[in-house]
Amino acid sequence: MSLFDLRLQELHNKLHAKEITVTDLVDESYKRIAAVDGKVQAFLKLDEEGARETARQLDGQAGEERGLLFGLPIGIKDNIVTEGLTTTCASQFLRNYNPIYDATVMRKLKRAQTVTVGKLNMDEFAMGGSNENSSFHPTYNPWNLDYVPGGSSGGSAAAVAAGEVYFSLGSDTGGSIRQPAGYCGIVGLKPTYGLVSRFGLVAFASSLDQIGPLTKNVEDSAYLLQAIAGHDPQDSTSLNVDIPDYLSALTGDVKGLRIALPKEYFGEGIDPKVKDAVLTALKVLEGQGAVVEEVSLPHSEYAVAAYYLLASSEASSNLARFDGVRYGVRAENPNNLLELYTRSRSEGFGPEVKRRIMLGTYALSSGYYDAYYLKAQKVRTLIKQDFDQVFEKYDVVIGPTAPTTAFKIGSQIDDPLTMYLNDILTIPVNLAGVPAISVPCGFADGLPVGLQIIGKALDESTILRVAHAFEQTTEHHKQRPQL
């Protein structure tokens, strides 16, 4: 049995009793990476020298200085800035970018004394839903290597599912933590917008992006969220609120809890096997005393269109800084400044990034702003109001994480519209800024199915409580892929 199969508290007790060392945990991580990452390809960059040096330092610390996350190996999505460790966003444009500072979440993880194993693969600049848009190489689903792991945090999900790290961090703009978590059979949490600092997260769409944990179980998700949440004056969108004790929410009790079941989440395009797995999961929660009722979120059908206008518009603005002048790859021997910009961007950006920049620039252009961008913002408000009205009566909203299980590599890469529709159930959450978690709830044709639990803004405690209660009476989260 791998050390990573132990619960976090069990590992902490073993470390405290000196039955194992941090070096043992780091050895376990790199041994597993050596054994399986040639197949999974979750990592873009390993920091073995730095990780082993950190492990040696931590092993010399007194026991009373050790927190619960002490010594645990973690993987970091490659759009989160890491001092002294290349941060590429899986793009050729940043293949030589070596940051001189840490993202806020990295500083918090260092205070929690985790060990960074390396940087994880992703869709370029977080634009994609399959991890096939990485400019370096695709990542493969540990459950079946012919299938995608989801995206854009596909490397973060695959590394945890494959047992290469204890847990990882990803980012979620339209479902990029929850969808790969669902595809890979692990737990993925998108916190309330502003709960976790975005300082040091390379921006895709600033009003939608949020960093969050990918873990093997709900308890670990609560521990990791506790470590990274909190106000950050370096992030103007960071919320200055008290952070509750998320662990105290894991009571296993959902008696009397009111669950909303949106009829729009079970309509056309939902795989019948996915629908059956989710409805079976709801019966489990009903058996624990929760009350399930059907509701309507009428503006959900417009979410994908609104999202791709808004996200692409913000991407067009954010990625304007990548011009070959200050950092990143620069075109060689340009004849003038305009050619420097044009060639650097043409050579540095991949096709999906170019597609979204073009769409966003068009939506923001004179004569089209009101027709597209402004209208999309109004639809976003309506979607948020739908959630607000449902949450006046219900505690959580539950549905599938994705309409299908993972799809085969290469099957949708040339069909961007079909690829975009894979996020149809996760996108409304980002538009509304509310928290949501994906937990494993079964299998369809040998591939994991994700159950999405959506909560009120800043009510992570409730979605963690529901997810944990479901997890305690099922075995899905204990299943591991056989690589």
Q: What angle do CA 75, 77, 80 make, to 5 degrees?
A: 115
Instruction: Decide: 383 and 425 in contact? Cβ < 8 Å.
Output: no
φ/ψ (deg, to 5) at 28: -60, -45
φ/ψ (deg, to 5) at 74: -130, 145
Give every CB contact of residue 420 below 8 A, 6+ residues apart in sequence. 129, 304, 308
Give every CB contact of residue 408 below 8 A, 6+ residues apart in sequence. 146, 147, 148
Where b means 16+ CB within 10 Å and e means fewer, 39-66 reads ebbbbbbbbeebbbebbeebeeeeeeeb
Known catalytic membership, residue 156? no
Known catalytic membership, residue 153? no
Helix residue spans in 263-415 (DSSP H):
272-287, 303-318, 337-348, 351-364, 375-391
- Structure tokens that stand for 433 in this block: 């800024």
Known catalytic membership, residue 190? no
Catalytic residue among 135, 152, 153, 461: 152
The candidate with the shortest Cα–Cα distance to 225, out of 254, 208, 250, is: 250
Give every CB contact of residue 483 below 8 A, 6+ residues apart in sequence. 35, 36, 39, 40, 142, 162
Alpha carbon separation from 443 to 25, 109, 142, 464, 480 (Å, rounded) = 30, 33, 14, 22, 12
Catalytic residue among 130, 135, 153, 176: 176
Instruction: Decide: 182 and 422 in contact? Cβ < 8 Å.
Output: no
Catalytic residue annotation: 77, 152, 176
